[in-house]
Amino acid sequence: MKVLSVSDVVDPLVYTKSLPERFGDVDLVISSGDLPYYYLEFIVTMLHVPLFFVRGNHAPMKKPWEREHPLPQGCVNLDQRVLNYRGLLIAGLEGSMKYSDRGIAQYTEGEMRLKVARLIPHLLWNKLREGRYLDVLVTHAPPFGIHDKPDRCHTGFKVFNWFIETFRPQYLIHGHVHLSGYHRPEDVLVKVGDTWVLNTYGHRVTEISPKGREA
Ligand SMILES: [Zn+2]
């Protein structure tokens, strides 16, 4: 299954009229957050495949007259959900480490532990039914010590390290960490135990097969 993932910056290679020619063969789009909603809505409209997203710490906030924070139209909010898309077991956890009282989708380590705990019954059900817990965890923030940075905002979550050690998804796909033009390959993709940790920054195309099935 071909997965297009996006995060953090509007990528001119994606935000173009030739998107269907360039990425018309993708089966699924994942957003790891911090993107304007017009961009996600553009992608989902042009490609006609599902777009699963988690919000980042720069998610659009509600206007004073609005009741709730806006969400992108036509896209699926993956936060704290576990889904089975054509055999691919996928879950999401939005947000960054809490660093200010302004903004949304910011969590302390303890709050993120709670969010993870709420996924566990469904992961156990997957294990019983499908023989594995999960294929892909979509997050905004990285795990602690992997692709993260020392400042509070960009510190990764330790509970994500525990998650990949325990549930061993094929991929953890995150955003939040901006890359310069001179980054090393391991700043984008690194293997931790059985899990590839992918920093999407911009866009990436990844072939992911549900374990034990054909792509
Ligand atoms: Zn961010």
- Could you tell me the CATH number of the domain that includes residue 169? 3.60.21.10
Render pLDDT for 117-159 as a digit per residue (tens, 0 to 9): 999 999 999 999 999 999 999 999 999 999 999 999 999 999 9
Q: How far is the CA of 195 from the centre of ligand 1 (A)?
A: 22
What residues pair up with 110 in beta bridges, in sequence order? Answer: none
Measured in angstroms, how far is the CA atom of residue 211 from the centroid of ligand 1? 30
Q: Would you state the pLDDT for residue 172?
A: 98
* Domain count across the chain: 1
Is 7 inside any structural domain? yes
Give domain status of residue 213, yes or no.
Answer: no
How remote is the CA of residue 200 from the centroid of ligand 1, in Å? 12
Contacts 24+ apart (CB under 8 A), 67-70: 69/104, 70/37
Q: What is the largest CA-CA distance in the chain?
A: 50
**Within-domain flag for 214:** no
* pTM of the predicted protein model: 0.96
Q: Domain limits at 180?
A: 2-207
Per-residue confidence (pLDDT) for residue 60, from 0 to 100 = 85
- Residue 140 CA, ligand 1 centroid: distance in Å: 7
Distance 212 CA to ligand 1 centre (A): 34
215 within a domain of the structure (yes/no): no
107 occurs within a structural domain: yes
Q: How far is the CA of 151 from the centre of ligand 1 (A)?
A: 12
Please list the ranges in the chain whose pLDDT falls under 70: 212-215
105 CA to centre of ligand 1 in angstroms:
9
Residue 24 in any domain: the answer is yes
- Examine residue 212 and state whether it is found in any structural domain, yes or no: no
Compute, in angstroms, the gap from residue 128 CA to the centroid of ligand 1: 34
Instruction: List, in sequence order, every beta strand (DSSP E) within the chain.
Output: 2-7, 28-31, 51-53, 76-77, 82-85, 88-93, 96-97, 106-107, 136-139, 171-174, 189-192, 195-199, 202-207
Which residues are close to ligand 1, an ion, with C-beta < 5 A? Answer: 34, 56-57, 176
Cβ neighbourhood burial of 191 (10 Å; 0-12, 13-18, 19+): exposed
Contact 4, 50 (CB under 8 A): no
Residue 108: per-residue pLDDT: 97
Q: Residue 45 has what pLDDT?
A: 96
Residue 179 within any structural domain of the chain: yes
176 CA to centre of ligand 1 in angstroms: 4
124-131 LR contacts (CB < 8 Å, sep 24+): 126/82, 126/84, 126/89, 130/84, 130/89, 131/211, 131/212
- CA of 57 relative to ligand 1 center, distance in Å: 5
| Contact yes or no for 129/84 (Cβ under 8 A) | no
